[in-house]
Amino acid sequence: MKYLIADHHRRVVGICWPALVATVVKLLLVPAYRSTDFEVHRHWLALTHSLPLSRWYYDTTSPWTLDYPPFFAYFENFLAFFAYRVDPTMTHLHDGLDYASDLAILFQRLSVIVTDVVLIYSVYRLTKGGHLRGIERFFIWILVIWSPGLFFVDHLHFQYNGFLLGMLLLSISCLEDGRDLMGGFVFAVLLCFKHLFAVAAPVYFVYLFRHYCRGGWVKGFVRLVVLGTIVLAVFGAAYGPFLYHGQIQQVLRRMFPFGRGLCHAYWAPNFWVFYIMLDKVFAFLLVKLGFHIEAPKASFTGGLVGDSSPFSVLPKITPLITFILVLLALSPCLVKAWRNPSPKMVSRWVSYAYTCGFLFGWHVHEKASLHFVIPLAITALKSVEDAKHYFFLSTVSCYSLFPLLFEAQEYPIKVIFLLLYATLSWLGFSSHFPGTTSSSSMKETDENKSGTHVFSIGYFGQSYLFGLIVVEIWGHFLHPPFLGISCQFLPLMMISIYCALGMMYSWIWQLRQITMLH
């Protein structure tokens, strides 16, 4: 017992160090760049504080209307209780528009930092098993807690992804421990905070149905009823008040604004980038051949949110088409989960589900790559192939977020963060997988025999990551002096297309893994 207590104490102290370093860095970023998402969340504080619940999803005081599920609205209302006491103006619905006093900035930044404790606890819980050595556990903590994407999106751009991803990891850890009811409960709560996590719902349903609802018809049915009751209770707590006021339709309309278009303002590096470019190539060729091609209603290169039909030649893509494509891409994973519902595969299946949603979904934000990169960090040390894939994917994902931080003063920050993280990852993987130069084995090499640790991602990975450097040099250093304002969105287009190639490769790799592993 004393040994277990001492071991637990060492683990708690161990995770405090990377968490403390991350917190210090986050505090240093408090006065840095903020996107419009800062005002979005400030406004949500104000409207949930100033208006009765029955008016939350009808408010149009600001363009940034409430479009998250009810639990997040309750969360904003909870924060507003403290925000009012720190700086009352930030909770004023009309006077507070675009309000950003020093106190308001500090409060909102600190709210993100404090809620990150959920992520810290979740990754600690996921790695508390005896299958990991101390140094391995510590390295995974660093991979998650020091993820540059989380720094970019949450502590510069401004969002609460760390808090929400912490809930996802907590749910996964419960499933891996065999606590299926708790895992399903936490995931249901997460969906009532942010509905975009619902992409993994089919995986959860199939896994829980096959893993938890087993043991014969009677026992299975009873367990299904219990599980369904828990999920319905969570959704009842979230949506019940709005159902009482007859506002469910309005809430859903705000949560699913399909009129925003297929792509976000910044092109997420997914499958639709290639579809868009193919449409433009066809249109250009047909015009050159003398055909009259009507210009699209919206531009994908103008940095604005377009409508749902900005194509000149290729068929219009609708939300239903993207939904079907996501389900088709998910189907091999669902079949695997049905046949062999193994707890050790949950993190891979969930990550794969979010990869499918990212690549084929409707109006995907580039920030959504965090949904699958963070869970995959948990599996990064399971094999050398996992390590290579994670190093590749985390680098591509981080670089794809560069356009979010477009001001000059943030450029050194994002470059340094990416380089430091890549260096730490490389050193960690080299230490854990010494001499792994082959993509298919872990045989000892001459370098390893001489005491040198070599971690190689192979010729393809090295070539592709070198291409990221070429894209960045052109877009940031060569494009402005050579082309100036002409083709000003070409660098953004190059980042989207090139990163999309990497994301597609990752999807294929993950698909291969889940179909091969047991």
Sequence-distant (6+) residues with CB within 8 A of 434 are: 448, 453, 454, 455
Helix (H) or strand (E) holding 325: helix 319-339
The residue count for the chain: 518
pLDDT in single tens digits along all 518 residues of the chain: 554 455 555 667 778 899 999 999 999 999 999 999 999 999 999 999 999 999 999 999 999 999 999 999 999 999 999 999 999 999 999 887 889 999 999 999 999 999 999 999 999 999 886 677 788 899 999 999 999 999 999 999 999 999 999 999 999 999 999 999 999 999 999 999 999 999 999 999 999 999 999 888 899 999 999 999 999 999 999 999 999 999 999 999 999 877 777 877 667 899 999 998 898 888 888 888 888 777 665 554 443 344 445 678 888 888 999 999 999 999 999 999 999 999 999 999 999 999 999 999 998 988 999 999 999 999 999 999 999 999 999 999 999 999 999 888 899 999 999 999 999 999 999 988 876 544 443 343 333 443 444 678 889 999 999 999 999 998 888 877 666 666 667 888 899 999 999 999 999 999 999 988 76
- Contact, 493 vs 267, CB < 8 A? yes
The answer to whether 186 and 174 have CB atoms below 8 angstroms apart is yes
Task: Please state the domain extents for the chain.
Answer: 1-258
Q: Which residues of 157-186 are buried (b: 16+ CB within 10 A; e: fewer)?
A: bbbbbbbbbbbbbbbbbbbbeebbebbbbb
Dihedral in degrees, nearest 10, Cα atoms 365, 366, 368, 373:
170
- Provide the pLDDT for residue 452: 44
In contact, 197 and 168? CB cutoff 8 Å: yes
Please indicate, yes or no, whether the overall pTM of this predicted structure exceeds 0.85. Answer: yes
Residues with Cβ < 8 Å from 504, sequence gap 6 or more? Answer: 271, 359
Rounded CA-CA distance 362/364 in Å is 6
d(CA 355, CA 509): 11
